[in-house]
Structure 1
Amino acid sequence: MEFRWLKQNNAAEAIVVFGGWAVGPEVFWHLDGPQDILFAGDYTDLNAELPDLSGYSRVSVLAWSFGVAAYAHWQQERPDPFQRKAAVNGSLQPVNRGAGIPPAVFRRTMETLSLESYQGFLTRVFGAPQEAEALDVPARRAELLAVEQRGDAPQMRFDKVWISSGDKIFPPANLARAWAGQNVTQIDAPHAPFGRFSHWEELFQ
């Protein structure tokens, strides 16, 4: 795992984004707001440490897809610097028949991973065909294996949970079970719903 700044202008607030698998920060570029943005990706290991965020008056975390479980695993046994937490189309049980991606589907994705299957994955993520993307197949397969072996994340409450009705990666019914009793909002969108938003702040409301 690594952290890298997408935007750093000495703002009053920082948002730490735990992104999804094999999808870079480009899905967030259009989101506007005064906040500084720190992006986390590649969950093959979770050894990275946050930079010093003590100068910010507020620090929030936004976790998407496999970033939800990765964040919860990472946060365990570390001081929690976040005043607000939002989860988008992910689960603390990422590989789970009733609360995440069914294990057979996950295993098939991992075992058949190729440039061609990755393009199909991107189509499901965004709800429409995407331009061809390069992929380091062995590295991304290793990341999936790490997610599977890491298993369920510790239980954690989020201030806001988003579930897309058109999610073709995490079954929406499974996410509804996973987040029962928390502050859930359903949205008519694909697995990557960020095109429905224009400002970072909307994702925490």
Structure 2
Amino acid sequence: MKHQWICKHTEGARRVLLFFNGWGQDSRAVARLSCPRDTDVVMFYAYHSEGDFDFSSLAGYPQREVAAWSMGVWYASRLKALQDVQPTRTVALCGTPWPIDDRYGIPCAVFDATLAGLSPRSVEKFVVRMEGGVAAYRQSPLSQPGSRSFEDVRSELEWWHRECFSQGEAPLVLDWQKALVGLSDAIFPPENQLRAWQRAGVQPCSQAQLPHDPFPSFGSWDQVFDF
């Protein structure tokens, strides 16, 4: 797992936001979000990669909060290091703790077909669906070249397939306080998201007519947590 500080103050920050990004992503997805004055933000991504983030370094922040999007919800749900972080707020956006599942996530056959047919062109089509159509895609930072190669993105998707099935019904280590379900989500079926959060005991969910990528509807990191 790699990490990148999206906002980092030299001193005075009393709050840290931990953001778990989705599959194949980099900082473009959240590039338009403004950072609060007293807040640091660290993004986690490329979960198949080696990483050296020291979660104990967060102990000095009085407020520690977690947001996760898409496949990042699964990762954060099972990251044991977050038990020691003891976040004060946790929000999940357009994802579930069971991301490859016929009832609670992306249907297995759909995920398998995506992996089997993956190509640079299919990745672009995936992002178009994620954004809610061609017009929205053209306005999105995700339409611009990213920092990750196709081979890297494919390796991560293969990793997700292995990890999600190998861990099976591993218990969740993070209690989610809020969940946002995009009712126009073309990646995670909304009805599966609603079932998943009922299973996880997060009720009621917030629902909105949003595509899989909710971030164009937010202007700041505060709004991500306060939907």
Fold conserved between structures, TM > 0.5: yes
Cα offset, 1:46, TM superposition: 7.2
Which position in structure 2 is the counterpart of 1:13? Answer: 15
Tell me which of 23, 26, 30 is aligned to 1:24. 26
User: What is the 5 A alignment of 1:14-53?
Assistant: 14-32=16-34, 33-34=36-37, 35-44=39-48, 48-51=52-55, 52-53=57-58
Partner of 1:150: 163
- In the other structure, the counterpart of 1:182 is 202
What CA deviation, in whole Å up to 9, does each residue of 1:48-94 have, x standing for no partner?
43351122110101100000001122236852331111100111111
Gaps of 5+ in 1: none
The farther-off stretch of 167-176 and 151-160 is 151-160
Aligned twin of 1:170: 188
For the Cα contact (< 8 Å) 2:2–2:44, is it kept in 1? yes
* Aligned-pair CA distance for 1:47: 5.4
Residue 4 (str. 1) matches residue 4 (str. 2): yes
Please say if residues 2 and 40 of structure 1, whose CA atoms lie closer than 8 Å, have aligned partners that are also in contact.
yes
Give the secondary-structure state (helix, strand or coil) at the position aligned to 1:53: helix
Quick one: which amino acid aligns to residue 109 of structure 2?
A
Residues 2 and 49 of structure 2 are in contact (CA less than 8 Å); yes or no, is this contact kept in structure 1?
no
CA RMSD of aligned residues (A): 2.0
More helix by share: 2
Q: Distance in 2 between matches of 1:37 and 1:117?
A: 31
1:200 and 2:218 matched:
no
Give 1:30 shift: 1.9
SS in structure 2 at match of 1:79 = helix
| Unaligned residue ranges in structure 2 (runs of 5+) | 138-142
Alignment check: 8 A CA contact 2:91 2:176 kept: yes
Counterpart secondary structure, 1:118: helix
1:85-164 residue pairs with structure 2 within 5 A?
Answer: 85-129=90-134, 130=137, 131=143, 133=145, 136-151=149-164, 152=168, 154-155=171-172, 156-164=174-182
Which amino acid letter does the alignment assign opposite residue 202 of structure 2?
A: Q
Shift of 1:203: 2.4
Distance 1:29 1:21 in 2: 16
Task: Give the SS at the match of 1:54.
Answer: helix
Structure 1 residues 108 and 188, CA gap change in structure 2 (3 angstroms): same
Secondary structure class of the residue paired with 1:30 = coil
- More deviation in 154-163 or 182-191? 154-163
Per-residue displacement from partner, 1:34-57 (whole Å, max 9, x unpaired)? 321101001115754335112211
Tell me the SS of whatever aligns to 2:79.
helix
